[in-house]
Amino acid sequence: MGIIALNNTIMKTRISVIYGNNIKKMTQTLLQAENAAERIGDKTASIVLKPNLVLYSDPAQGATTHTEIVEGTIEYLNDNGFRRITVAEGAWIGASTEECFRKLGYYDLRERYGIRLVDTKKDEYVKVSPCGIPMEVSRTLMEAGFIINMPVLKGHCQTQMTHAMKNLKGCISDKSKRDFHRLGLDLPIAALNTVLRSDLTISDSICGDLDFEEGGNPVETNRMMASDNPIILDAYAATLMGYEPEEIGYLKEARKLGLLESGEWEISELSKPIPSESGPKGTAKRLSVYTEPDEACSACYASLIRALRIFKEEGGNPGNMKIAIGQGYKGKTIKIGVGSCCSEATINVPGCPAKASDILTMLRRL
Ligand code: SF4
């Protein structure tokens, strides 16, 4: 549980978390746990699904939403009598949304389920000015009856992390995207979230990229999350990436704008973390030399890799450090270990899985 902003009334926001390999089934379990059908209510509602298709890239590279999440959601909605379903997205400037739709299977989804696809680069726009920042927002999103946001939890070279709040940037015109960058992203992203509210967020934290929005350094986590509060969900996600919520600029702006109705979250864990199968790639793989995994779960291992990355960026030197992690260390006396499996370690970061922000604190102390 964590706190980001406080007023006199503290309410807890539930975040459902699930681990596994069957992405479609995990999606549907999350939707059931969040009572999505009851929340939408009106069977004739226009439901918009907003994945992250920043550019064409295989989801295994850690940049784009796994198509199984979109498909699992469409099936869930159809099974519950909802038929007006649109998938809307706009790739980043210079990339083609249509290429993403074509290569990632969205035209097949349209064929099979009769959904509508909208490239927000070509949509009509509604002009709004939240916080005095003019922006052109996709009419499809503005007029949606229910928005299901489907971000990827990953690193970002400017905002440190990108997730639910920033994923809505795909709903504005390319002109507005340029304006956002000119204004430094943080305040515009928070402002956009005052006019476009994600009714439900289904987070793809399966193998998000460690550093970059465009992928290439995926870190397997095999985790998905869901919440009706995208801002609290981002605050929690920040801790999984190794940051305190207040270190993320757009969360800080969100707090100033009073977007946080409550400051606490509680985790509802629908399944337990699972062992890693493939391990990290790219930059993340180089960081693995400081680790000694033995039956490590992917979520725990990803936290360790993320903490090591930030520590090195800060100028920290792990030297010859070998950090134990995994179920193989249960009951063993070791020097440094991460996660509750290594509770016998002289220096231990508790948690199942351990949080990257806690591991980073341990590394700084050492
Ligand atoms: S503490 Fe152990 S069981 Fe829990 S996530 Fe980490 S490795 Fe897995």
Tens of pLDDT, residues 287-302: 889 999 998 888 898 8
Q: pLDDT grade, residue 3 (50/70/90)?
A: very low
Q: What is the pLDDT of residue 25?
A: 98
Q: Is the CB of 155 under 6 A from ligand 1?
A: no
Give the DSSP H/E element, type plus range, for residue 88.
strand 85-89
Q: What is the best residue among 297, 325, 332 to mutate for testing ligand 1's pocket, by most ligand atoms within 8 Å of CB? A: 297
Q: What is the dihedral of CA 282, 286, 290, 294, to 10 degrees?
A: 50
Average confidence (pLDDT) over 166-187: 95
Q: Is the CB of 297 under 6 A from ligand 1?
A: yes
Give the DSSP H/E element, type plus range, for residue 226.
strand 223-227
Q: What is the best residue among 303, 340, 358 to mutate for testing ligand 1's pocket, by most ligand atoms within 8 Å of CB? A: 340
Which token pair is 26? 């995990």
Average confidence (pLDDT) over 217-236: 94
On the CB side of 42, CA atoms within 13 Å amount to 9
Q: What is the pLDDT of residue 137?
A: 98
Check pLDDT > 70 for residue 163.
yes
Smallest CA separation from ligand 1 atom 4, residue: 352
How many angstroms separate the alpha carbon of residue 326 from the centre of ligand 1? 6
On the CB side of 19, CA atoms within 13 Å amount to 15
How many angstroms separate the alpha carbon of residue 18 from the centre of ligand 1? 14
Q: Is the CB of 300 under 6 A from ligand 1?
A: yes
Strands 200-205 and 125-128 turn out to be: unpaired
Which token pair is 263? 């400051």
Check pLDDT > 60 for residue 8.
no
Average confidence (pLDDT) over 69-92: 97
The sign of the CA dihedral 287, 288, 289, 293 is positive
Domains in the chain: ranges and CATH: 12-269 (3.40.50.11440), 283-365 (no CATH)
Q: Is the CB of 343 under 6 A from ligand 1?
A: no
How many angstroms separate the alpha carbon of residue 178 from the centre of ligand 1? 42
Smallest CA separation from ligand 1 atom 7, residue: 326
Average confidence (pLDDT) over 176-203: 95
C-alpha to C-alpha distances, 122 to 117, 191, 285, nearest whole angstrom: 11, 22, 39
Look at 28-32, 107-111, 198-202, 254-258 and tell me which has the smallest mean pLDDT. 254-258
Give the number of the atom of ligand 1 that is nearest the alpha carbon of residue 275. 8
Give the DSSP H/E element, type plus range, for residue 31.
helix 23-33
The percent of residues in the chain predicted with pLDDT above 70, rounded, is 95
Q: For residue 318, say if its preceding peptide bond is cis, omega within 30 degrees of 0.
A: no
Strands 223-227 and 12-19 turn out to be: antiparallel
Cα separation, 120 vs 173, in Å, equals: 7
On the CB side of 52, CA atoms within 13 Å amount to 32
Give the number of the atom of ligand 1 that is nearest the alpha carbon of residue 339. 1
Q: What is the pLDDT of residue 105?
A: 98
C-alpha to C-alpha distances, 16 to 19, 29, 35, 143, 149, nearest whole angstrom: 10, 10, 11, 27, 15
Q: What is the pLDDT of residue 89?
A: 98
Q: pLDDT grade, residue 215 (50/70/90)?
A: confident
Q: How far is CA 125 from the centre of its chain?
A: 26
**Is there a contact between 280 and 220 (Cβ–Cβ < 8 Å)?**
yes
pTM of the predicted model as reported, rounded to 2 decimal places: 0.89
Q: What is the pLDDT of residue 276?
A: 74
**Is there a contact between 81 and 75 (Cβ–Cβ < 8 Å)?**
no
Tell me phi and psi for residue 341, to 5 degrees: -65, -25
Q: What is the best residue among 341, 343, 349 to mutate for testing ligand 1's pocket, by most ligand atoms within 8 Å of CB? A: 341
Pick from 167, 230, 274: nearest CA to 15:
230
Give the DSSP H/E element, type plus range, for residue 36.
helix 36-40
Average pLDDT, the chain: 92
